[in-house]
A and B are shown apart, each in its own frame.
Chain A
Amino acid sequence: MDILTLFVVVPILTVLVLVFAKGLKQVRIISLVGMLVQLGMAINLIFAYLKERAINKDIMVFTQDYTWYESFNIHYAIGVDAISGVLIALTAIVVVAGIFISWKIDDLPKEFFITLIILSAGVFGFFISLDLFTLFVFYEIAVIPMYLLIGIWGSGPKEFSAMKLTLMLMAASALLSVGIFGIYFNSNADGGALTFNILEIAQVNIPVAAQNLFFPFVFIGFAVIGALFPFHTWSPSGHASAPTAVSMLHAGVLMKLGGYGVFRIAMYLLPQGAINWTDFFLVLTTIGVIYGALAAVMQKDLKYINAYASVSHLSLVLFALLMLNKTAWTGAIIQSLSHGLLTALFFALIGMVYGRTHTRDIAKLGGIMKILPFIGSVYVITGLAYLGLPGFSGFVAEMNIFVGAFEHTDTFRRILTIIVVSSIVVTAVYILRMVGKIMMGPLVNEEHAELPKATWYEKVGLVLLMIPVVFIGMMPFGLSEMIKESVTPFLERLI
C-alpha cells in the first residue's frame, strides 16, 4: 500500500475497530491510537516529501493512479506537493487535539468518534486527490458528517444550525459540480480524451470563454466553505451550535478545504478565468476581511466572536489567493495553516471555559485567569498569536500576504490592500476586548470562584496545537521555501 492511500485506509480501519469497541475508555483509546498513527504518518510524510523532493522535481510526488470508472475516465489518482502535505499535517494535528478535547464526551461516544473519524478520512482523501471526481467525492464525505455531528451532539438550536450549514454547503456543492463538469467537458480542448485528472487538465488550454464561465462556479462553490462574504452566515450559527471538537475540526480544517480547492482547481485549472474575475472577487473578499472583523467586535457570544474572526481571517486567505503572485500565495497557505491551528486552539479554549462555567456570554464571564491560570495563559497567548504578534505563525502569514498584495501597483489593489492591512487594528480590538473581559478583570460571577483546573488531556491537546504555532512563528524559513517551490507551477499557469 502506498504512503498516501494509508491516510484514507487508517481512519477506515479505525472506524471498523471502533464498531466493536465497548465503553468510553476503549473507544477513545482506539480513536487516539488510530489518529496518533495518522499524525505520525503525516509527520513522516513531510520528511519523506522533503527527501523525495530533493531527487524528484515533478509537480506532485508519491503519485499513484488506479482506474476507478473507465467509461468516464474517472481515476483514483493521488499525489502530494508541499501545500497538501502541510495541510495533511495540520489536519492530523487538529484531529488528535480534537480527540483529547473530547476525552470525556458522555453522549454516544462511539458514534461520535466514528463520525468524527469518517469526516477526517474525507478531509485526508480530499487533500491527496489529484482527480476532480475523486476529490469531489471526498469533499462530500467530509462535509456530510458535519450535519450529524452538529445535529446530534450540538447545543442550542442545533437542528436549525446543522440544517443551515449543510444546505448552504450543499448548494455550493451544486455550483461546484457544475464547475467540475464544465472543466471535464472542456478537458479535450487540445484534442485527446476527456479527463478528470488535475495534472492532465493543467496541460490543456481550456478555451477562455469556458474558463470565464466556469471560474465563478468553482470559486464560489469552494469559497462558500471558505466563508466568502455574503455566503458566510452558516459559519457563526454552525460553530455556535457545534460541540467543541467539531468546531475545532470545522474551523480548523474543513474551512481550509475552500481555500485549497480554490487554489488547486479554480486557480490552477482556470488561470485565465481567475485573471478575469479577480477584481470582482477581490472586492467581496476585502469586504469579508473588514466586515468579519467589525462584526466580531460587536458579538457577545465567544463562539460568535471566533466565528466572525474566522470569516475575517479566511477572507484574507481568499484575498491573498486572488492576488495571483507567489508571495501572497505562500502567505495564503501559511495563513490557512496558522488560522487552522489558532482557531482550533480558540475553540478548544472556549469549549473548556464553557464546559466549566456553562456560559459563553462575555458579559457573564470575567477574571477567569485567576481561577484557571493554565487555560487563561494559553488564552492570552492564543489571542496575541491571533492578532498577528511576531513569533507566532499568524505574523508570518499576514506579512507574506501584505507584502505580496503590495506588489501590485494599480490603485484599485493598493486601496484594497490598505483596507485589508487596517484589519490588523480591528483584530487587536476584538481579541483584546474578549481577552480583557473574560480572562482579566475582577471575577464577575461568584459561582466561578471554584472551577476545576485544566486536566492533563486538555493540556496535551492545547500544547499539541501550540507547538506548531510557535514553530512556524519562530522558524518560518523552511516552511515558506517549501511552499514557495510548490506554488511555482501555479504561477507558470498564469502566463
Chain B
Amino acid sequence: MNYSYVIAIPLIPLALFLLLGLFSKKIPPSISGWIGSLGLGTSFALSLYTAYHYYIEAKVNGIYQTFVYKQTWLAFSDKLHIDMGVLIDPISVMMLIVVTTISFMVHLYSRGYMKGDDGYTRFFAYLALFSFSMLGLVLATNLFQIYIFWELVGASSFLLIGYYYTKPSAVAAAKKAFIVTRFADLGFLIGILVVSYYSGTFDFSELNNPEGFMISNWASTSFMGLSVFTWGLLLIFMGGAGKSAMLPFHIWLPDAMEGPTPVSALIHAATMVVAGVYLVARLFPAFYFVEDGFALTIVAYVGAISSLFAAIIALTQNDIKRVLAFSTMSQIGYMMLALGVSKYDGHEGLGFMASMFHLFTHAMFKALLFLAAGSVIHAIHSNYLKDMGGLRKYMPVTHITFLIAALSISGVPGFAGFFSKDEILAAAYEHDMLIYISSVAVAGLTALYMFRLYFGIFWGKDTQYEHIPHESPWSMTLPMLFLAVMSVVGGYIHFSEFVSADHIPFEAHLNYSLAAIASGVGILGIIIAYILYKKETNLPDKISNTFGVTYKWAYHKFYFDEIYLFVTKRIIFGLVAAPMAWFDKYVVDATMVSIGNMTVSFSNKIKGLQSGKFQDYAMAFISGGVILAIVIFYLWL
C-alpha cells in the first residue's frame, strides 16, 4: 500500500497560506473564506480516505503497520540528519482526522464569525498556516521534524492570538504565549540534543524500537542518579508541558483567549494544546521502557495535579472563555495522566488508548463549547457571565449544542465524554489510587463548573439586552451541529480496535462500577450547579465567602502570573538585565572610551615639549647628540 499521497494533506493548507498570504489585498473576502474552507475540506476528505484505508487494510497479523516516507532535509553529521516526511501509524492517522475535522469546521464557522472584519483574508491565511504546521507536526517522522513544526504552530498561535493586533491585551497575550512556550521549548530542544547525541538518531521508529539503542542501553549512561535518557525525555516532556499548558507552564493559555473565538476552538482547545499529549504518545515506548517508566510517572503526576488545579480555578472565573480554557487544561491533564499510568502491551495499555480516545472526544466537544461560546459572544459582544443570562430564548441552536457538549464533558452516560473518561478512570484505578481519587474529584468539579457556565449563560437572571440577541447564521450553527453529533456518536467508536500502545488491537470493556461512580459524581456536580445557578440567588456568594482565602487564591489563579511576573520583571530584568545594560554602558564602554581619553590626556601632558621655541629644539638636538656621542664612545668603543 502506498500512503505517500498523505503528504498532500498538509501541503494543501500550505498552498492556501501562500495564496491567501501573498495576495491578501487582491482576494476579496467573499472568495477567500470559500477558498480556505474548500482547501481544508479537501484535506478533511483526504484524511478520511486515509483513515478508512489505513484502519481497514494496514493490519498484518493483527498488528497495525507503520509507514514512513521521508527525505533528508538537513544533515548534521553522518548519523544525525533532519528528515522531512510523513509517518503513518494509528495515532498519526487519528490525529489527522481530529485536526482536519476541527480545522474544517472552524473554517466554515469563521466565515460567519469573522464577517466584516478588516483582516478577513489574513485571518484565513493564518488559519491555513496553522493547519499546515499542525498537520506537519502530526505526521512528523523524527524529533527534529516535530520540533520544527512545533515552533511553527507556536508562531501561528502567536499570530492568531495577536490577530487583533491593535488591542494591547491581545498583543501581550500573544507575546506571553510565545515566550512561555518558547521557554518550555528550550527544554524540548536540549532534550532532543541529549537524546539524539546519546542514541545517535532523531528517528521515532529508531527511538521507539524496543531493540533500539535508547531502550536497550538506557542504563549505560547516567547523570545525577538517573539515566541520561530519562533526563532527555523529561526535558522533551517539558516542551510538551509548555504546549499543553501543564503546570507550571499553563499561564499562557487563559490569556490566549484574547484571540478570536474560532482560534481558541481550533488551537487552544482541540489541536495545538494536545500536541504535548501527542508528543508523549509518540514517544510512548521510549517513555515506558527507559528507566522503567520513571519519566512516565512524572508525566502522570504533572497531568493529575494540573487537572485538579485547573478544575478548581475554573470554578471561580467569570470570563466564559477563561473557564473553558481552564477546563481545557484540566482535560489535557486527564490525557496526560492516562498516558502516565499506562503500560505497554495488550489490555495493560488501556491508559494509552484512553488518552487518545479522550483526545479525540475532547477535541469534538471542547471545540463545540468554544464555537458555542463564540456564538454567544458574537451575539452579545461580551465575554463575562455577568452580562449573560436567559439566552436560551434567543439562541435555541446554540443552547442545545452547548448543552450536548456540556453533558458530554461532564461524563453523563450516553455521551462521548462518558466513554473516554471512563477508560481513563479505569486505567488510573488499576495503577494508581491517588491519581484515581483526584481524577474522580476532577470529574465532579468539571460537571460543576460546566453547568455553572451553562446555567449562567442560558438560564439564570433575565438580563435586559440593549440589542435583542439573535441566533447566529447557519454558517456558524452548521459546524456546531456537526460537532454536536460527533460529541455524542464519537463515544461509540471502538477506539481500542484502532489505537493502542503496541499497535495490536484489543477489546476494552466498560467497567460498570467505576463508570457508575464517575457518572454519579458528574451528575452530583450538575445537581449542585442546578441548585446554585439555575435561578439567580446569593447562595454562590455565600459559599465563596465561606471558602474565603481559598476562593481568593483560586480566583487569582493561585498567583502564578504574579510569581512569573516577579521572576521575570524583578529578578531577570531588574536584577540581571538592567545591571548588565548599566555595566555595558558604564564599565565596558566607559573603559574603552577612557582608553581613548587617556591617550588624549597623555598627549596633552607631553605637548608642552613642542614649545615652538627653536632654542628648545636645538637644545634637545644638541644634548641628544652629546649623549649619543658619549654612549658611543664609552659603551661601544
- Spell out A's residues near B (CB within 8 Å): 163-164, 167-168, 229-234, 237, 291, 294-295, 297-299, 326-327, 367, 369-370, 380, 384, 387-391, 395-396, 399-400, 402-404, 406-407, 418, 421-422, 424-425, 428-429, 432-433, 436, 439-443, 476-477, 480-481, 484
Q: Is B74's beta carbon under 8 Å from chain A? A: yes
When C-beta atoms are compared, the residue in chain B nearest to A439 turns out to be: B165
Q: Are A295 and B193 in contact (CB under 8 A)?
A: no
Q: Are A390 and B152 in contact (CB under 8 A)?
A: yes
Q: Are A477 and B74 in contact (CB under 8 A)?
A: yes
Q: How far apart sit A475 and B182, CA to CA, in the bound complex (Å)?
A: 24
Q: Is B85's beta carbon under 8 Å from chain A? A: no
What residues of A have a CB within 8 angstroms of the CB of B158 in the complex? Answer: 384, 432
Q: Is B289's beta carbon under 8 Å from chain A? A: no
Q: Are A298 and B581 in contact (CB under 8 A)?
A: yes
When C-beta atoms are compared, the residue in chain A nearest to B573 turns out to be: A297
Q: Are B576 and A294 in contact (CB under 8 A)?
A: yes
Q: Are A404 and B148 in contact (CB under 8 A)?
A: no
Q: Are A384 and B155 in contact (CB under 8 A)?
A: yes
Q: How far apart sit A163 and B593, CA to CA, in the bound complex (Å)?
A: 10
Contacts A237-B589, A298-B578, A440-B166 supplied; 16 other A-B pairs, CB < 8 Å: A291-B580, A295-B577, A370-B165, A384-B155, A387-B182, A404-B76, A406-B197, A421-B193, A425-B186, A428-B178, A440-B162, A441-B165, A441-B166, A441-B167, A441-B171, A442-B166
What residues of A have a CB within 8 angstroms of the CB of B82 in the complex? Answer: 399
What residues of B have a CB within 8 angstroms of the CB of A164 in the complex? Answer: 592-593, 596
Q: Are B589 and A233 in contact (CB under 8 A)?
A: yes
A433 contact from B74, B80, B175, Cβ within 8 A: B175
B186 contact from A167, A422, A480, Cβ within 8 A: A422
B174 contact from A233, A436, A442, Cβ within 8 A: A436
B596 contact from A167, A232, A299, A480, Cβ within 8 A: A167
Q: Is B168's beta carbon under 8 Å from chain A? A: yes
Q: Is B604's beta carbon under 8 Å from chain A? A: no
Q: Are A440 and B193 in contact (CB under 8 A)?
A: no
Known: A384-B155, A389-B152, A403-B76. A425 touches B189 (CB 8 A): no
Residue with the highest number of chain A CB atoms closer than 10 Å, among B80, B149, B578, B584: B584
Interface string of B108-148 (1 = CB under 8 A from A): 00000000000000000000000000000000000010011
Q: Is B588's beta carbon under 8 Å from chain A? A: yes
Q: How far apart sit A388 and B577, CA to CA, in the bound complex (Å)?
A: 21
What residues of B have a CB within 8 angstroms of the CB of A299 in the complex? Answer: 581
Q: Are B152 and A391 in contact (CB under 8 A)?
A: yes
- Spell out B's residues near A (CB within 8 Å): 72-77, 80, 82, 144, 147-149, 151-152, 155, 158-159, 162, 165-168, 171-172, 174-175, 178-179, 182-183, 186, 189-190, 193-194, 196-197, 573, 576-578, 580-581, 584, 588-589, 591-593, 596
Q: Are A429 and B166 in contact (CB under 8 A)?
A: no
What residues of B have a CB within 8 angstroms of the CB of A429 in the complex? Answer: 179
Kindly provide the distance from the CB of B293 to the nearest chain A CB, expressed in whole angstroms. Answer: 26
Q: Are A424 and B190 in contact (CB under 8 A)?
A: no
Kindly provide the distance from the CB of A400 to the nearest chain B CB, expressed in whole angstroms. Answer: 6
A326 contact from B73, B77, B197, Cβ within 8 A: B77
A390 contact from B149, B576, B580, Cβ within 8 A: B149
B179 contact from A231, A380, A391, A432, Cβ within 8 A: A432
A481 contact from B75, B182, B190, Cβ within 8 A: B75
Known: A233-B592, A391-B152, A441-B171. A295 touches B584 (CB 8 A): yes
Q: How far apart sit A335 and B179, CA to CA, in the bound complex (Å)?
A: 22
When C-beta atoms are compared, the residue in chain A nearest to B175 turns out to be: A432
Q: Are A231 and B592 in contact (CB under 8 A)?
A: yes
Q: How far apart sit A433 and B190, CA to CA, in the bound complex (Å)?
A: 25
What is the number of contacts between chain A and chain B, taking CB atoms within 8 Å? 134
Known: A402-B189, A425-B186. A390 touches B148 (CB 8 A): yes
Q: Are A294 and B580 in contact (CB under 8 A)?
A: yes
What residues of A have a CB within 8 angstroms of the CB of B168 in the complex? Answer: 441-442
Q: Are B179 and A327 in contact (CB under 8 A)?
A: no
Kindly provide the distance from the CB of A406 to the nearest chain B CB, expressed in whole angstroms. Answer: 4
Q: How far apart sit A327 and B179, CA to CA, in the bound complex (Å)?
A: 28
What residues of B have a CB within 8 angstroms of the CB of A400 in the complex? Answer: 74, 76
Q: Are A407 and B197 in contact (CB under 8 A)?
A: yes
Q: Are B155 and A298 in contact (CB under 8 A)?
A: no
What residues of A have a CB within 8 angstroms of the CB of B162 in the complex? Answer: 436, 440
B151 contact from A390, A403, A439, Cβ within 8 A: A390
A406 contact from B178, B193, B573, B593, Cβ within 8 A: B193
When C-beta atoms are compared, the residue in chain B nearest to A370 turns out to be: B166
Q: How far apart sit A245 and B213, CA to CA, in the bound complex (Å)?
A: 53
When C-beta atoms are compared, the residue in chain A nearest to B162 turns out to be: A440
Kindly provide the distance from the CB of B84 to the nearest chain A CB, expressed in whole angstroms. Answer: 10
Q: Are B186 and A424 in contact (CB under 8 A)?
A: yes
What residues of A have a CB within 8 angstroms of the CB of B80 in the complex? Answer: 327, 403
A-B contacts, 26 listed (Cβ < 8 Å)? A164-B593, A233-B589, A233-B593, A295-B580, A295-B581, A369-B165, A384-B155, A389-B152, A390-B147, A390-B151, A390-B152, A391-B152, A399-B76, A400-B76, A402-B189, A403-B193, A407-B197, A428-B182, A432-B178, A440-B162, A441-B168, A442-B166, A442-B168, A477-B73, A477-B74, A480-B75
Known: A369-B165, A403-B193, A441-B166. A480 touches B74 (CB 8 A): yes
Known: A298-B580, A391-B152. A421 touches B186 (CB 8 A): yes
Q: How far apart sit A168 and B588, CA to CA, in the bound complex (Å)?
A: 13
B189 contact from A369, A380, A421, A443, Cβ within 8 A: A421
Q: Are A234 and B165 in contact (CB under 8 A)?
A: no
When C-beta atoms are compared, the residue in chain B nearest to A432 turns out to be: B175
What residues of A have a CB within 8 angstroms of the CB of B155 in the complex? Answer: 384, 389
Q: How far apart sit A367 and B151, CA to CA, in the bound complex (Å)?
A: 26
What residues of B have a CB within 8 angstroms of the CB of A163 in the complex? Answer: 596
What residues of A have a CB within 8 angstroms of the CB of B151 in the complex? Answer: 388-390, 395
Kindly provide the distance from the CB of A322 to the nearest chain B CB, expressed in whole angstroms. Answer: 18
What residues of B have a CB within 8 angstroms of the CB of A428 in the complex? Answer: 178-179, 182
Q: How far apart sit A367 and B152, CA to CA, in the bound complex (Å)?
A: 24
B183 contact from A425, A433, A476, Cβ within 8 A: A425
What residues of A have a CB within 8 angstroms of the CB of B144 in the complex? Answer: 399
Q: How far apart sit A163 and B171, CA to CA, in the bound complex (Å)?
A: 40
B182 contact from A233, A391, A425, Cβ within 8 A: A425
When C-beta atoms are compared, the residue in chain B nearest to A479 turns out to be: B74
What residues of A have a CB within 8 angstroms of the CB of B197 in the complex? Answer: 406-407
Q: How far apart sit A126 and B75, CA to CA, in the bound complex (Å)?
A: 30
When C-beta atoms are compared, the residue in chain A nearest to B80 turns out to be: A403
Residue with the highest number of chain A CB atoms closer than 10 Å, among B74, B144, B162, B592: B74
What residues of B have a CB within 8 angstroms of the CB of A298 in the complex? Answer: 573, 577-578, 580-581
Q: Are B74 and A424 in contact (CB under 8 A)?
A: no
Q: Are B72 and A477 in contact (CB under 8 A)?
A: yes
Q: How far apart sit A234 and B596, CA to CA, in the bound complex (Å)?
A: 12
Q: How far apart sit A421 and B186, CA to CA, in the bound complex (Å)?
A: 7
Known: A299-B581, A441-B168. A476 touches B588 (CB 8 A): no
What residues of A have a CB within 8 angstroms of the CB of B174 in the complex? Answer: 432, 436
What residues of B have a CB within 8 angstroms of the CB of A480 in the complex? Answer: 74-75
When C-beta atoms are compared, the residue in chain B nearest to A390 turns out to be: B148
8 smallest A-B Cβ distances: which pairs?
A: A298-B581, A390-B148, A233-B589, A440-B165, A294-B577, A440-B171, A406-B193, A428-B182
When C-beta atoms are compared, the residue in chain B nearest to A326 turns out to be: B77
What residues of A have a CB within 8 angstroms of the CB of B149 in the complex? Answer: 390
What residues of A have a CB within 8 angstroms of the CB of B196 in the complex? Answer: 403
Q: How far apart sit A157 and B73, CA to CA, in the bound complex (Å)?
A: 47
A395 contact from B148, B580, B593, Cβ within 8 A: B148
Q: Are B588 and A230 in contact (CB under 8 A)?
A: yes
What residues of B have a CB within 8 angstroms of the CB of A440 in the complex? Answer: 162, 165-166, 171
Known: A422-B186, A425-B179, A432-B175. A476 touches B74 (CB 8 A): yes
What residues of A have a CB within 8 angstroms of the CB of B165 in the complex? Answer: 369-370, 439-441
A476 contact from B73, B172, B577, B578, Cβ within 8 A: B73
Q: How far apart sit A80 and B178, CA to CA, in the bound complex (Å)?
A: 42
Q: Are A418 and B190 in contact (CB under 8 A)?
A: yes
When C-beta atoms are compared, the residue in chain A nearest to B593 turns out to be: A164
